[in-house]
Amino acid sequence: MQLSGKTALVTGGTDGIGAELIRQLRAKGVTAITQGRNAERVTATRDAGFEVIAADLSKPEGVRALTDAVAGRTIDILINNAGAGVDHDFRDAAPDPVAADATIFLNLDAPIHLICALMPMLQSRPEAMIVNVTSGLAIAPRAGGPVYCATKAGLRSYTQALRAQLKDTKIHVMEALPPVVETKMTAGRGSRKMPAAECARQFVVAMERNANEANVGIVKLLQFVHSISPALARRIMIKF
């Protein structure tokens, strides 16, 4: 895709990978509109010159607030990047199912709702793209994060099916699979993490190439192992 001159809506763009994405897309000549739910980070991102819509995508009303805010706008690219994890490990404590519900909505339902809402606009553009950010854990789960892994696996399946539906249209569907990246969400999870800027850079390169998948860092190796033996990939990742 030729990125210059396009307008992109990037969810979760006030922190982490999303914050790097909007910066790097802007450097490519993209008008980046983003969304965030933390008031302090929303303000900081606005101060950096970005248009930010305050909305909590873990709730249906937050998705409606975002779609209402961009109604009638020209959108060429939708990047469903917003996501979160949730504690859900019975070995530690009884999990909170309500917290799980919010995470499931944010990670899986919200991208589907946004795609449905923006599809008419994307279909009207000469060239359009949907990017769904999943995870290496969408390929094989780890025991400590079953809800997060399930949502990302669900979004991966949705993305693959959506790509097949839209293969003869002007809308390209890409899945971006990051490894463990240095963000607030991964704080405390080891030291071998990819910088968010490098992860975002590889996403952007893949978008320019119209790649079906952006397998970043160690996810490339995981994909290779999975292609040979899905059972082996699961055995490796379940303890990750």
| Secondary structure of residue 15 in the 3-state scheme | coil
User: In 3-state terms, what secondary structure has residue 8?
Assistant: strand
- Concatenate the DSSP letters of all residues of 117-130 into one string: HHHHHHHHSSSEEE
Q: Which of 148, 174, 183, 237 is catalytic?
A: 148
Phi, psi of 80, deg, nearest 5: -85, 90
Query: What CA–CA distance (Å, rounded) separates 78 from 70?
Result: 12
Q: Which residues of 66-86 are buried (b: 16+ CB within 10 A; e: fewer)?
A: bbeebeeeebbbbbbbbbbbb
Residues 226 and 140: beta-carbon distance below 8 Å: yes
Does 148 qualify as catalytic in the annotation?
Answer: yes
Q: Which amino acid is at 64?
A: R
Note whether 203 and 214 are within 8 A (CB): yes
Q: Mind giving me the DSSP string for 130-157? A: EEEE--GGGTS--TT-HHHHHHHHHHHH
**Residues designated as active site:** 148
